[in-house]
A = this chain, B = another copy of it.
Amino acid sequence: MTGVAAAVMTGPGAVELREFPRPEPEPGAVVLDMRLSGICGTDKHTFRGETLQYAGTPHERQIGYPLICGHENVGVIAAIGGADAVPDGAGRPLRVGDRVVPAANVTCGRCWYCLTGQPYYLCERMEDYGNSLGCADPPHLFGGWAEQMYLLPGTALHRVPDAVPDELAVLTEPLAVTHGIDTARRLRRPSFGESVVVVGVGPLGLCHLIKARLVGCGRLIAIDLLPSRLALAEDLGATLALRADELEAGQLAERVRAHTDGRGADLVIDASGVPETFPTCLRLVRTGGVLVEAGAFVDLGPVGVNPAADICTRNVTVLGIGGELLSDYGPALELLARSHDRLPVDRIVSHRLPLSRAGEAVELAQRDGAMKVVLGGR
């Protein structure tokens, strides 16, 4: 067979393996031989058809089918259009055979957001692999759940250090979403050794927990419904793990305060993906602390918030984080290169399935016992 296999989502709940013609890169474009592609929370929503109702972005784009998902990618350069080399994110030449993590998005470079140095995912005409870029038209392969991926000219590429295995490199993108931690440190003292709560330690929460640990936080509290996730969180450095199904919001707040000298946490990360946790998170953060709202990419409706009691008089800062920083792919890979031997890779990437089992993989990613699920190989 000479075609390129890909897992195509043809509608809500439907994924099937299809073949596409082997792509020829236009000048500046790159074709990647895929190694691994992660399943993201957004993919689960897309699979459930929820992103049809609300695209979860500032631009309210509609995601259309058919679609090849997959924006957390690692692969090897198979072809470069019109040149021997293409620059990586550090300006060094990349050549065929180099292992890279591509950026999840391509920007227009001409809108106000692009021209004024705002976070790149705020671009008004952003295209995102595995989301806004469908597979109906050639060259089709705009998602990572495939044997090959087509990267448009201008897509940033980041060389993967040799020390970093594919299973960690595939975490680069979600790690680059954790910049709320860094911004919080710009805003508030202390800038290190702070207490951190992560609410929802699925893959994105776990990336926040890993990041918090590797950049020198102090006490680290994980909250989740699933015991398997809390157990992994503890192995990764959580100093306290709390079961959200066994404790009410007030009890959680009390336990967090007891673990943080009575004050509440300096920093709370809401990576749950559901709105109900938002008011609870506001109760976990200390007066003057920061709440990072990072997981709610899909609109699941409003919740009750008290601007006076929860935000104004308690001097709380809320940081909405809607995507990853382009400038953080490189540092994330550096961090993984320095710390890979301290991370239980096989537990963080809990399952690896072939493309032919993509639908099963999405289902699996939503169950207890699963952490990051990745796809690789036909």
Contacts and interface: CB of A to CB of B under 8 A. Distances in A.
Interface of A: 54, 56-58, 87, 89-92, 109-113, 115-122, 124, 154, 156, 179, 182-183, 185-187, 189-194, 211, 214-219, 237, 261-263, 270, 275, 278-279, 287-288, 293-323, 325-328, 330-335, 337-339
A187 B111 CA distance: 20
Given A193-B332, A294-B312, A328-B190, A89 B109 contact: no
Given A261-B112, A304-B304, A192 B335 contact: yes
A367 B288 CA distance: 33
A317 B315 contact: no
B328 A320 contact: no
18 contacts: A56-B313, A58-B315, A89-B115, A91-B111, A91-B112, A183-B187, A186-B186, A192-B215, A193-B333, A216-B339, A218-B335, A293-B312, A296-B307, A296-B312, A299-B309, A315-B322, A315-B323, A317-B319
Contacts of A156: 115
Contacts of A319: 317
Q: Which of A179, A189, A335 is most buried by chain B, counting CB atoms within 10 A of its CB?
A: A189
Contacts of A56: 308, 313
A87 B58 contact: no
Nearest to A315: B322
Copies in the complex: 4
Given A288-B118, A312-B294, A331 B192 contact: yes
Given A315-B119, A320-B311, A112 B124 contact: no
Q: Which of A90, A187, A214, A301 is most buried by chain B, counting CB atoms within 10 A of its CB?
A: A90
Contacts of A338: 193, 216-218, 237
Nearest to A111: B91
A188 to B, nearest CB: 8
